[in-house]
Structure 1
Amino acid sequence: MTQMPAKPIILIVDDSADNIQIMNGLLCDKYSIRAATSGAKALALASLDPIPDLILLDVMMPEMDGFQSCSRLKLNPVTRHIPIIFVTAKTDTLDERTGFELGAVDYISKPINPAILEARIQTHLKLASRTNLLEDLVQQRTLELESARQKIINKLGRAAEFRDNETGLHIIRMSQYSFLLAQQIGQPAYWCQLLLNAAPMHDIGKIGIPDAILLKPGKLTLEEYQIIQKHPEIGAEIIGEDDDPLLHMAKEIALYHHERWDGTGYPCKLSQKQIPLCARIATIADVFDALTTSRPYKAAWSIDDAFNYLRDGAGSQFDPFLVSAFLECKAEITDICTQFAEPTSEHSTVVEVELTD
């Protein structure tokens, strides 16, 4: 049996039971009616699921009048998008303007003309339906664009990583460690998500380093090491200046993730909180993953040994507060290590980058 579509829900708000009865009689055949005799009751009924499709709201009511009720409804995220039509005996132009300024979609004077009331209701229900459809389409498109942007960022990070780590799992683990640490220190959820998505770009500057240096099987000369040290600036130049929060954070991480807490890092010799928080977090995540991952030139360190290295470097290489917070996350860190472990086969082309004495 075909189910009949649900009737649109209309909430009638009027302190006069007689007025409610009149409007109910006019509308009940086509609409599902809710009724409230006060502003307070209207606020409660408007929040019930499913929320009304439209509200007919009187202005002159005791305690909380229609204007106050409308203002409260528009402040509530649940009810702010419900179309409100004022139905009132207040016919002054100033009152009508006030109603529209508060967010109402229409203003109908009493006594009610049934034909006008029905026409206005149908018009605004159709407009609301189209608006909701448009908002859904815009939201869908926004999500698609955000997804595409993130894929591009991940692929760029992967492109840099591919040159010295065939699996690309380093950027995944490093991003997860960064996200975990940001959460641990109480950063807002939005900021944590930005960090998770920006961290893969930390070594994008490696694209600009010649293979002869990046993949050199042995120690680097002083000149070669100085070229390696240019990759943060190259990365910042690749990302460029942008007002987008994600790209702005990605640039900060790319440029500053080799700075040290004591000011002896590169390329800018920043120290302590001169270094952006996102970069200080990324530094710990990057070093920890490098230590706990096997390379052709070394075996993977244990988590405990890597923790000891971070602990010893707190206050010199690393932000001591962040190190302490990171060490408190051992169980979660172990899970990330396990979930995104490197393949057992050894095909990596990474080589050690050392400075010749």
Structure 2
Amino acid sequence: MSLYGREPIDMTMDNTAQNTSMKRVLIVDDVPRNIDLLREILSEHYQVQVAKSGRAALDIIAHKTPDIILLDVMMPEMNGFEVCEIIKSNPETADIPVIFLTAVTDVENEIKGFEVGCVDFITKPITPITTLSRVETHLRLAENDQRNKSLIASRTQELDDALESAVSMLGEMGHLNDTDTGIHMWRMADYSAALAKAAGWDEERVELLRLAAPMHDTGKVAIPHSILKSPNKLSEDEWKIMKSHTQIGHKILSKSEAPLFQLAAEAALGHHEKWDGSGYPYGLMGEKIPESARIVAMADVFDALTMERSYKKSWSIEEALEHIESSAGGHFDPRLVTLFLSIKDELKNIQEKWRKKEQELVQK
């Protein structure tokens, strides 16, 4: 079965063009004399494949991708425009340059051709100089385009890696006194992303929250060690300082106008607010608390409960979910609690994924 549908392959390859370093040109035309002429022009310079119908062309493309396609516009059953639309709709073949072969030179056909994705036209009657020039030009342009895309992809990956590193550093700033920083941050981020997805967030915003969530405690970097690690109950003044980490984190993160850091700032400011208004720093109630903060708050508490610390044993997932369910309408948004309970299996999978990563780190 091909990518485009099943049909016997109608394909020929010029015997003189066996050099695998040669570019492959696919000629698609239902008129034998046109095929013969084009093959004669091109076979000295390129590997030539031939299809006598649109369906056959799609089968050839699915089996062995050509570097460029010369495609007749007027063909029975499936015309060139339809074939081109199918080629361009498939991400695997969308970048193949298509040159239309046509005897019709009106403006409407040209507009239609470019709309469906062709790069050029060769007007019949076909001439060697024009054909070779157009093919060579568009192969070179396609190579340059692919080179640029690869460069952009490489640079984008470098930027993504740098951004993730920056997020890790900011996240760890807020957990300088914790013994389980990186694993906790990214596990909690995965819980946040899973809940955001269940809440109907689009994929792009879910991924933004996955990166933003680890930065929610950034403001703790400004809280004195004596308060963060105090073994005693905090005094009123100390508690006031402790609570200020939400506003400090917001101040730090909101200095950037990038959507990621704006979302992180929002979560940092509101992740200690509670649905019933008993949280801090502003005592916001209900939906006045940004949903990002409500999500991060729940994920953070869930992860803290299920994580073993020097001063406590870890809770089971079931115990942690029971606690969260009992806190619906008080600490947590009731709707988000229901959604969180509904993704229990996903939460287990996330926990198991990070448990294995922890083991790998210990073994190293």
Shared fold, TM over 0.5:
yes
**Counterpart position of 2:34:** 19
Write the distance in 2 (CA, Å) between the matches of 1:270 and 1:246: 23
**Counterpart position of 1:234:** 248
Shift of 1:188: 4.8
AA aligned to 2:137 is: T
**Counterpart position of 1:128:** 142
**Counterpart position of 1:354:** none
Q: Does 1:77 align with 2:91?
A: yes
CA contact (8 A) 2:187 2:351 kept: no
**Counterpart position of 2:9:** none
AA aligned to 1:193 is: E
Pick the aligned partner of 2:162 from 136, 148, 153: 148
**Counterpart position of 2:312:** 299
SS across alignment from 1:85? strand
**Counterpart position of 1:66:** 80
**What do the CA deviations read for 1:122-181 (whole angstroms, capped 9, x no partner)?**
22112211210111011111111111011011111112211x214414323322332444
Q: Does 1:5 align with 2:29?
A: no
Shift of 1:107: 1.8
CA contact (8 A) 2:73 2:101 kept: yes
Write the distance in 2 (CA, Å) between the matches of 1:172 and 1:54: 45
Shift of 1:215: 3.3
Write the distance in 2 (CA, Å) between the matches of 1:333 and 1:81: 37
Pick the aligned partner of 2:262 from 216, 231, 248: 248
Write the distance in 1 (CA, Å) between the matches of 2:353 and 2:54: 52
Write the distance in 1 (CA, Å) between the matches of 2:304 and 2:96: 54
SS across alignment from 2:230? coil
**What do the CA deviations read for 1:60-110 (whole angstroms, capped 9, x no partner)?**
334543344434433332332211112221234554455345432222211
**Counterpart position of 1:332:** 349
AA aligned to 1:319 is: D
Q: 1:243 to 1:90 in 2, by over 3 A?
A: farther
Shift of 1:236: 1.6
Q: Does 1:28 align with 2:56?
A: no
Write the distance in 2 (CA, Å) between the matches of 1:311 and 1:199: 22
Write the distance in 1 (CA, Å) between the matches of 2:353 and 2:111: 58
AA aligned to 2:25 is: I
Write the distance in 2 (CA, Å) between the matches of 1:275 and 1:176: 21
Q: 1:74 to 1:4 in 2, by over 3 A?
A: closer
CA contact (8 A) 1:242 1:248 kept: yes
Shift of 1:333: 5.7
Pick the aligned partner of 2:178 from 138, 157, 165: 165
With 182-191 and 215-224 compared, the bigger mean Cα shift is at 182-191
Write the distance in 1 (CA, Å) between the matches of 2:230 and 2:77: 80
Structure 1 unaligned segments of length 5 or more: list them: 343-357
With 199-208 and 236-245 compared, the bigger mean Cα shift is at 236-245
CA contact (8 A) 2:74 2:102 kept: yes
TM (norm. structure 1) is: 0.82
With 46-55 and 96-105 compared, the bigger mean Cα shift is at 96-105
TM (norm. structure 2) is: 0.80
The aligned length equals 337
**Counterpart position of 2:333:** 319
**What do the CA deviations read for 1:214-266 (whole angstroms, capped 9, x no partner)?**
33332222232222222222212211155534323322221221121223222
Write the distance in 1 (CA, Å) between the matches of 2:72 and 2:350: 59
Write the distance in 2 (CA, Å) between the matches of 1:159 and 1:325: 31
AA aligned to 1:316 is: G
Shift of 1:275: 3.2
With 308-317 and 4-13 compared, the bigger mean Cα shift is at 4-13
AA aligned to 1:9 is: R
CA contact (8 A) 1:172 1:340 kept: no
**Counterpart position of 2:225:** 211
Q: Does 1:37 align with 2:52?
A: yes
AA aligned to 2:185 is: I
With 180-189 and 27-36 compared, the bigger mean Cα shift is at 180-189
Write the distance in 1 (CA, Å) between the matches of 2:281 and 2:39: 73
Identity %: 41
AA aligned to 1:204 is: T
CA contact (8 A) 1:292 1:306 kept: yes
Q: Does 1:271 align with 2:288?
A: no
Shift of 1:46: 6.5
Q: 1:172 to 1:70 in 2, by over 3 A?
A: closer
Shift of 1:338: 3.8
Shift of 1:269: 3.3
Pick the aligned partner of 2:295 from 265, 281, 289: 281
Write the distance in 2 (CA, Å) between the matches of 1:172 and 1:101: 44
